[in-house]
Amino acid sequence: MKRFLGALIATLTLTLAISCTTSHPVAINGDIGSKRGESTGQIICGLIFLGNGDILDAAKNGGITHVSTVDIRTTNILGGLYIKSTTIVSGE
């Protein structure tokens, strides 16, 4: 029984401690461009939403009028209790 509880506690601890960050391109339209802008959105416990992380805000933050590339970087901490998504655009 002690081994089972130890294994259960270790499994739960590892599950909660998992953190994952992924980054992938969403769209490419011509050259990369010299300007870069970011916009970040966060979700806490699936209930609290901070920021929006959309392409329009990212372009505005970088002073971009013609978007060339769009990348999204997502960080997931504690099995989805905290999620951060950053939209990165480049262009002119």
Report the alpha-carbon distance of residue 56 to residue 39 in Å, rounded.
9
Q: pLDDT of 34-84, one tens digit each?
A: 899 999 999 998 889 999 889 999 999 999 999 989 999 998 887 778 999
Whether the pTM exceeds 0.85: the reply is no
Report the alpha-carbon distance of residue 40 to residue 50 in Å, rounded.
8
Any residues with CB less than 8 A from the CB of 6 and at least 6 apart, and which? Answer: none
Question: Would you call 50 exposed, middle or buried from its count of C-beta atoms within 10 A (0-12, 13-18, 19+)?
Answer: exposed
Residue where the block lists tokens 């739960």: 12
